[in-house]
Amino acid sequence: MIVNDTNFQKEVLDSSLPVVVEFGAEWCVPCKRLEPLMVQIMEEWAGKAVLATVSVDENPELVMQYQVMSVPTLMLFVGGKPVERLGGSQSRTNIIGKFAPHIT
């Protein structure tokens, strides 16, 4: 799901499930490489977590609020709070290792 400044509160912070937020950009090659991997991981976590994408170019307030310094940046929100963060290109092992303990 695509989220922005307008629906971030409802879709991410108010979500009953953990939300993995991918901060990225259309021009970001590592972001494009990460997308199929994230889709695969989220299929494995179906019903346990959801994926949201944020365009850093279109949502500068969210970028500043969450201090996103590079793309891609992955953040895991649980109960409306950011609990984990990964920056840059990541492997499946790193993503699962960091986020899976919070996905039940």
Which of the residues 20, 31, 51, 56 is marked catalytic? 31
pTM for this prediction: 0.94
Three-class secondary structure of residue 94 per DSSP: helix
pLDDT digits (tens, 9 = 90+) for 50-98: 999 999 999 999 999 999 999 999 999 999 999 999 999 899 999 999 9
Active site residue 75: no
Query: What pLDDT, on the 0 to 100 scale, is given for residue 22?
Result: 96
Which domains does the chain carry? Answer: 8-102 (3.40.30.10)
Mean pLDDT over each residue of the chain, to the nearest integer: 95
Mean pLDDT over 26-49 rounds to 94
Active site residue 77: no
Query: What pLDDT, on the 0 to 100 scale, is given for residue 104?
Result: 74
Which of the residues 28, 51, 71, 86 is marked catalytic? 28
Place of tokens 């969210």: 62
- Distance in angstroms (rounded) separating the CA atoms of residues 57 and 22: 13
Q: How far is CA 65 from CA 45, 46, 52, in A?
A: 27, 28, 16
